[in-house]
């Protein structure tokens, strides 16, 4: 997969537009499916939605680090939401008035990623089972067991493929 991502970068620049369209399509499909499918499936699952108290006031320290340090580390997870925001700046470097276009592109893609990321974080806070239940599934990556528990076997395979392809496009 890494070699294929590298090969795509060797394509002539006229093809990059289509790669960006495809990448954006997978990211938006992932976002829309999470916004629609995950809450519906959570409402129908045995776990149900978490209360506002559980979603916002409970923490899980799986690091073994002090609570303050764990709180600081939690920003790393939310920083991952802002992936790819600089791509618009790289693309804008090749346009007319690049100094302004790149700055605007980075600014608005960061704003869009931040708003979308905030919505997704709130969604997952309410849809994820409690930490003991989630980590009892034994997965090393929490989204695989989360999707398996909430969406069922067929649904979680489909969503994990969409997520993997969307993240793979971030290599390009």
**Chain segment 31-62, per-residue pLDDT in tens:** 999 999 999 999 999 999 999 999 998 888 77
Higher pLDDT residue, 73 or 157?
A: 157
What does the longest C-alpha to C-alpha distance in the chain come to? 55
pTM: 0.76
Lowest mean pLDDT among 19-28, 48-57, 94-103, 126-135: 94-103
pLDDT greater at residue 130 or residue 73: 130
Q: How far is CA 98 from CA 53, 83, 91, 101, in A?
A: 47, 22, 9, 5
Of 68-72, 84-88, 123-127, minimum mean pLDDT range = 84-88
Q: Which residues contact 49 (CB under 8 A, 6 or more apart)?
A: 39, 42, 43, 126, 127
User: How much is the pLDDT for 77?
Assistant: 61
Backbone angles phi, psi at 35, to 5 degrees: -70, -35
Q: Domain residue spans in the chain?
A: 2-7+16-169
Residue 93, pLDDT > 80, answer no
Tell me the C-alpha distance between 134 and 142, whole Å: 7
CB atoms within 10 A of CB 75: 9
DSSP conformation class of 50? P
Mean pLDDT for the stretch of residues 10-33: 87
Q: Quick one: pLDDT at residue 163?
A: 87
């Amino acid at each position: 997969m890494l070699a294929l991502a590298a090969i795509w970068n060797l394509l002539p620049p006229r093809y990059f537009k289509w790669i960006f369209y495809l990448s954006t399509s997978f990211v938006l499909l992932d976002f829309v499916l999470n916004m629609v499918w995950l809450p519906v499936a959570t409402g129908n699952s045995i776990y149900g939605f978490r209360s506002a108290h559980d979603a916002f006031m409970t923490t899980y320290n799986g690091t073994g680090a002090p609570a303050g340090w764990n709180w600081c580390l939690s920003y790393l997870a939310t920083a991952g939401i802002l992936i790819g925001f600089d791509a618009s700046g790289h693309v804008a470097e090749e346009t007319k008035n690049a100094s302004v276009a790149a700055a605007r592109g980075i600014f608005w893609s960061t704003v869009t990623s931040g708003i979308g990321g905030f919505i997704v974080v709130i969604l997952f806070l309410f849809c994820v089972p409690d930490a003991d239940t989630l980590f009892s599934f034994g997965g090393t990556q929490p989204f695989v067991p989360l999707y398996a528990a909430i969406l069922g076997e067929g649904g979680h395979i489909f969503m994990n493929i969409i997520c993997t392809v969307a993240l793979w496009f971030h290599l390009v």
